[in-house]
Every structure is written in structure tokens, then in C-alpha cells.
């Protein structure tokens, strides 16, 4: 398991990343919603958030931004890797859930 996934699992067990409230009120609602999710649902939530962040960088207009291109590329590659690993995790969770349901039906 990657270091990122270990960290995600650590956070999913209920530990807080930060105690501060976001200045963006829509984020406060999302974070409050995420607090009430089960671990599997949180993984899906994190996957969706990462994909949305990736979309911002793909569709955004950053002509006036002076980011270091190499650092930006590394950031985007890390987002891609994390999204890919979470997607595999979600597939595993769904596979386990369907196996459990089949076992219960028998």
C-alpha cells in the first residue's frame, strides 16, 4: 500500500487534518458532510475531490500565473497517481461488497 493510501486510511479513521474552518463556505458544508460518511464512502468522496481538482488544472486559464512548471507537473502527476490508486481501492471495495452480498444470498 502506498504511503498516500496509508495516510488516507489514517485520516479516514476519524483523525482531523485541521481544526480551522475554511473561508469558503461551500467547503465547510462538504467537510461537514464528509465527517458523517463511512470509510468506504470517504474514499469515494476523496477520489471525486481529487478528480475535480485535476479538472480545475486541465480546464483552467493560468496564463498570468507564474508557477514553477516542473513543480506543477509533479503536482499533477501526484494527483493522477492518487486518483488511480483510489480508483483501484474503490474497485476492490465494490468487489468485496458484491462477494459479501452473493455469500449472504446463498
Q: Is the model's pLDDT at 40 over the cut of 90?
A: no
The pLDDT score that the predictor gives to residue 66 is 80
Q: Count of CB atoms within 10 A of residue 87's CB? A: 15
pLDDT greater than 60 at residue 75:
yes
- Higher pLDDT: 41 or 22? It is 41
The answer on pLDDT for 22 being more than 60 is: no
**CA-CA distance, 99 to 81, in Å (whole number)?**
27
In which residue are the cell numbers 479516514 written? 12
Longest dimension (CA), the chain: 61
Amino acid at each position: 500500500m502506498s504511503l498516500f493510501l496509508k495516510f488516507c486510511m489514517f485520516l479516514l479513521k476519524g483523525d482531523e487534518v485541521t481544526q480551522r474552518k475554511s473561508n469558503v463556505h461551500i467547503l465547510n458544508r462538504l467537510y461537514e458532510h464528509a465527517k458523517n460518511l463511512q470509510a468506504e464512502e470517504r474514499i469515494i468522496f476523496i477520489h471525486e475531490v481529487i478528480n475535480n481538482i485535476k479538472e480545475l488544472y486541465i480546464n483552467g486559464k493560468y496564463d498570468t500565473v507564474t508557477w514553477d512548471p516542473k513543480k506543477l507537473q509533479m503536482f499533477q502527476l501526484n494527483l493522477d497517481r492518487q486518483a488511480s490508486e483510489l480508483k483501484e481501492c474503490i474497485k476492490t471495495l465494490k468487489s468485496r461488497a458484491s462477494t459479501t452480498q452473493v455469500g449472504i444470498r446463498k
